[in-house]
């Protein structure tokens, strides 16, 4: 077995183990949320027998360890359980119950694709923008442009997402009504209209993730500019831009790919605040709504998806760094 393949398999095994540990933490944290769903659904005037009946129907009367392994076994088979909030509890309040429940996967599926669409639009804007800014900042380092770019990106990354969102709403939706301030996405919407309603949250996320990618691109290229082969390229009379793009950038791809993958992971897991501000119907908005009503299966599923996406993209960054390392691809 080659060294690269062995390292990749070790990383994959570590990722699976990490996700298992994270699933335990998710289950424990969600079940420690204050409040009781059965009490909340029936109100303060509910009798103890009615509350206990709902808890028994939902399986909340079972030991936590048993409930965890039931949830884990279902998740491994693609079954994330049924939403508490969508269950029919009419029989517990004296009416006829059909016992219908709504699948968590059914609720999450359209929200997941909305979040992926938002992350995709943001990536298409942020990645080229950040790499170009990093190249220009390295090319004109210590210039006014370089200093302005650093100040701008550091200011954006230092500001909370909700602050940047409201600033963009003020300038791009209120003072200058170019984009809609609310992202009321719905099924069947045309691509152009969906893109228009997604641009403002995508621009907010772009401002948040640009700094990391831009500064890593700049630093990686500057570190290579003192290399002998770069000096040789300069002595051949190549233009500074050609030296950076054709010679420095390909050798700086490993750290750049790493930071891009990490920021793409943030685009999926860190959208909660942005989705709430713009009322964007993604997983982040569903997560917040489910926490409010103590819908435990939905909250657990959202957290597991966030964790899985983050671990997967971190593994991707790690594996891409390994593959791009010539010392591992061509061991002596």
pLDDT tens column, 113-166: 999 999 999 999 999 999 899 888 888 888 898 889 888 888 888 888 889 889
pLDDT at 92: 43
Better-predicted residue by pLDDT, 133 or 81: 133
Provide the token pair at 21: 């540990």
Better-predicted residue by pLDDT, 33 or 211: 211
Structure pTM? 0.81
Q: Which helix (H) or strand (E) holds 64?
A: helix 64-76
Q: Which helix (H) or strand (E) holds 102?
A: strand 102-103
Average pLDDT over residues 195-213: 89
Q: Domains of the chain (ranges plus CATH)?
A: 1-100+294-332 (no CATH), 112-292 (1.10.3720.10)
Instruction: Provide Rg for the chain, Cα atoms.
Output: 25
pLDDT at 81: 80
Average pLDDT over residues 46-51: 73
Cα separation of the two ends of the chain? 15
pLDDT tens column, 262-312: 888 888 777 888 988 998 998 988 888 888 877 888 888 999 998 998 888
Whole-angstrom distance, CA of residue 183 vs CA of residue 289: 16
pLDDT at 90: 42
Are the CB atoms for 255 and 264 separated by under 8 Å? no
Provide the token pair at 280: 């964007």
Residue closest to 252 by CA, chosen among 216, 228, 226: 216
Residue closest to 118 by CA, chosen among 34, 214, 201: 201
Whether pLDDT at 50 is above 60? yes
pLDDT tens column, 86-104: 665 444 444 444 444 578 8
Residue closest to 121 by CA, chosen among 187, 194, 172: 194
């Amino acid at each position: 077995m080659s060294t690269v393949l062995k390292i990749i398999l070790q990383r994959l095994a570590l990722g699976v183990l990490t996700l298992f540990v994270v699933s335990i933490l998710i289950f424990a944290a969600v079940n420690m949320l204050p409040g009781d769903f059965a009490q909340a659904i029936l109100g303060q005037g509910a009798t103890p027998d009615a509350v206990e009946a709902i808890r028994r129907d939902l399986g909340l009367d079972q030991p936590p360890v048993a409930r965890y392994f039931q949830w884990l076994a279902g998740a491994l088979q693609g079954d994330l359980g049924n939403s508490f909030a969508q269950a029919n509890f009419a029989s517990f309040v004296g009416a006829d119950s059909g016992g219908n429940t709504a699948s968590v996967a059914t609720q999450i599926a359209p929200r997941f694709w909305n979040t992926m669409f938002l992350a995709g639009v943001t990536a298409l804007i942020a990645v080229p923008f950040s790499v170009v800014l990093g190249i220009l900042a390295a090319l004109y380092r210590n210039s006014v442009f370089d200093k302005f770019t650093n100040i701008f990106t550091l200011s954006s990354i230092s500001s909370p997402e909700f602050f940047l969102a409201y600033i963009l709403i003020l300038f791009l939706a209120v003072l200058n009504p170019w984009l809609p301030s609310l992202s009321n996405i719905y099924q069947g919407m045309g691509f152009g209209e969906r893109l228009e309603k997604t641009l403002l949250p995508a621009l907010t996320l772009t401002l948040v993730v640009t700094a990391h990618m831009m500064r890593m691109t700049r630093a990686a290229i500057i570190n290579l500019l003192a290399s002998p082969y770069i000096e040789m390229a300069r002595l051949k009379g190549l233009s500074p831009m050609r030296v950076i793009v054709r010679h420095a950038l390909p050798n700086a791809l490993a750290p750049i790919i790493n930071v891009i993958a990490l920021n793409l992971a943030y685009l999926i897991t860190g959208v909660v605040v942005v989705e709430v501000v713009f009322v964007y119907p993604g997983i982040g908005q569903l997560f917040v709504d489910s926490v409010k009503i103590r819908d435990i299966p939905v909250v657990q599923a959202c957290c597991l998806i966030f964790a899985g996406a983050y671990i997967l993209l971190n593994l991707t960054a790690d594996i891409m760094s390994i593959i791009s390392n010539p010392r591992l691809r061509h061991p002596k």
